[in-house]
């Protein structure tokens, strides 16, 4: 059985996002309207952005857990473009990440620990099954 570290992260997140969309992970209404951070000019263009971000957050919790919202904001941040001065690293918006973690908690894939969110055995099994199917399909 393969695990998350043995497969391509892009393929894993794409497959996990499709599974989360099939499970009807609850999506907040504001997600299609807001930017994801100060370095962005527009909201995400993908209609299924919420599921991709949730799957990516679940993968990060699997790999680096226990992890908090602050570290995830830094992970998903990017450089803010300035016209005259240097570019500066800015953290991503926290509400999308927080709501993704809360939705994953309700689905049973993540739980709160003392120092941050941790992956549950159900969440680990979910991602490992997807990784195994990717390895077998390739």
User: How many of the other CB atoms lie within 10 Å of CB of 138?
Assistant: 8
Q: What share of the chain is helix, strand, coil (3-state, %, to 5)?
A: 55, 10, 35
Give the domain CATH number at 63.
1.10.10.10
The residues that bridge with 39 in the sheet, in sequence order, are none
The pLDDT value recorded for residue 92 is 83
Q: Is the per-residue pLDDT at 1 higher than 80?
A: no
Its sign, for the CA torsion 78, 126, 23, 109, is negative
Nearest CA to 54 out of 34, 28, 35 is that of 28
Q: Is the per-residue pLDDT at 138 higher than 70?
A: no
User: How high does pLDDT run on average in the chain?
Assistant: 87
Where in the sequence is the domain holding 117, given as residue range(s)? 4-137
Residue range 98-118: average pLDDT?
92
> If 0-12 CB within 10 Å is exposed, 13-18 middle and 19+ buried, where does residue 45 land?
exposed
Asked if the bond preceding 66 is cis, omega within 30° of 0, the reply is: yes
> How many domains does the chain divide into?
1
Q: What is the pLDDT of residues 63-88, one digit of tens each?
A: 997 999 999 988 888 877 777 778 78
In percent, the amount of the chain with pLDDT more than 70 equals 99
Question: First-to-last CA distance in the chain?
Answer: 14
Query: Residue 11 and residue 117: Cα distance in Å, rounded?
Result: 24
pLDDT category of residue 124 using cuts at 50, 70 and 90: very high
Full-model pTM? 0.88
Query: Residue 117 and residue 68: Cα distance in Å, rounded?
Result: 6
Contact 90, 41 (CB under 8 A): no
Residue range 19-47: average pLDDT?
82
Residue range 19-26: average pLDDT?
89
């Amino acid at each position: 059985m393969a695990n998350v570290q043995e497969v391509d992260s892009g393929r894993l997140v794409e497959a996990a996002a499709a599974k989360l969309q099939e499970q009807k992970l609850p999506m907040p209404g504001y997600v299609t309207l807001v930017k994801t951070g100060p370095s962005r000019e527009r909201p995400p263009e993908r209609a299924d952005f919420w599921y991709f971000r949730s799957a990516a957050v679940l993968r990060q919790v699997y790999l680096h857990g226990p992890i908090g919202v602050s570290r995830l904001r830094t992970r998903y941040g990017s450089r803010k473009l300035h016209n005259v001065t240097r570019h500066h690293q800015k953290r991503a918006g926290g509400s999308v990440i927080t709501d993704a973690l809360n939705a994953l908690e309700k689905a049973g894939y993540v739980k709160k620990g003392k120092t941050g969110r941790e992956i549950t055995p159900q969440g680990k099994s979910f991602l490992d099954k997807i990784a195994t199917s990717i390895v077998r399909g390739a």
